[in-house]
A and B are shown apart, each in its own frame.
Chain A
Amino acid sequence: MLANRLSLASSTTRCVLLATSQEATTTTTQTRQMGRRQPKQGKPPILPPSKKVLYHVVHAPWQKPEDVEELLWRRHAYNNAVISLREVFRAEIAQNASHGQGIEAMKEAEAVELDELIASNEKRNEEKRAARAAMEEEAAKETKAVILEEIRVELEKRNVEKKAAEEEVRAAISRSDGFVNRENLETKILEALEKPTIYDFAIDRAGNKYYVPEPVKYQEGTPTRQKGRLYDQTLGTQHGTMEEAHGRQQQQQSL
Chain B
Amino acid sequence: MPFMHGSMPIRRTFFYLQQGKIKFRDNVNVFAMGFHKNPTEGRTGARDFVYWHWAQLQYHNPKVQLVKHVDKVITPFGRAYLNDGREVLFDFDGLTREEIEQTLATTLGKTELVKRREHLESIAKMNPADFGSKNERQCMCEVQGQHPCTGLLRAPSCMTGKSRWNHNLI
Residues of A within 8 A of B (CB): 58, 60-61, 81, 84-85, 88-89, 92-93, 96-97, 99-100, 102-103, 106-107, 109-110, 113-114, 117-118, 120-122, 124-125, 128-129, 132
Contact (A110, B117) CB under 8 Å given A93-B128, A96-B126, A118-B107: yes
Residues of B within 8 A of A (CB): 25, 27, 75, 86, 88-91, 93-94, 103, 106-108, 111, 113-114, 116-117, 120-121, 123-129, 143, 145-146, 165-166, 169
* Candidates A85, A97, A113; contact of B113 at CB < 8 Å: A113
Query: Does A103 contact B93, Cβ atoms closer than 8 Å?
Result: no
| CB closest residue in chain B, given A132 | B93
Query: Does B143 contact A128, Cβ atoms closer than 8 Å?
Result: no
| CB closest residue in chain B, given A91 | B128
List the A side residues contacting B27 at CB < 8 Å: 114
17 contacting pairs across A/B (C-beta < 8 A): A58-B169, A61-B166, A88-B143, A89-B128, A96-B123, A99-B123, A99-B124, A103-B121, A103-B124, A106-B113, A106-B117, A117-B108, A118-B86, A121-B90, A121-B103, A125-B91, A132-B75
Contact (A109, B113) CB under 8 Å given A100-B124, A114-B27, A128-B93: yes
In whole angstroms, how far apart are the Cα atoms of A239 and B137 in the complex?
Answer: 129
List the A side residues contacting B116 at CB < 8 Å: 106
In whole angstroms, how far apart are the Cα atoms of A50 and B121 in the complex?
Answer: 58
Query: Does A129 contact B124, Cβ atoms closer than 8 Å?
Result: no
In whole angstroms, how far apart are the Cα atoms of A61 and B164 in the complex?
Answer: 13
Query: Does B106 contact A117, Cβ atoms closer than 8 Å?
Result: yes
* Candidates B75, B106, B117, B128; contact of A92 at CB < 8 Å: B128
| CB closest residue in chain B, given A67 | B165
Known: A96-B123, A122-B89. 16 other contacts (CB 8 A): A60-B165, A60-B166, A88-B143, A89-B128, A96-B125, A99-B120, A100-B123, A103-B117, A103-B120, A107-B117, A109-B113, A113-B111, A114-B27, A117-B106, A120-B107, A128-B94
Q: Which 7 A-B pairs have the closest CB atoms?
A: A100-B124, A92-B128, A106-B117, A128-B91, A96-B124, A125-B91, A89-B128
How many Å from the CB of A18 to the closest CB on chain B? 36
List the B side residues contacting A124 at CB < 8 Å: 91
| CB closest residue in chain A, given B126 | A96
Contact (A118, B145) CB under 8 Å given A92-B128, A100-B121, A128-B94: no
Contact (A85, B143) CB under 8 Å given A93-B128, A103-B117, A125-B91: yes
How many Å from the CB of B104 to the closest CB on chain A? 10
In whole angstroms, how far apart are the Cα atoms of A3 and B2 in the complex?
Answer: 123
List the A side residues contacting B128 at CB < 8 Å: 88-89, 92-93, 96
In whole angstroms, how far apart are the Cα atoms of A129 and B77 in the complex?
Answer: 12
Contact (A100, B120) CB under 8 Å given A114-B25, A128-B93: yes
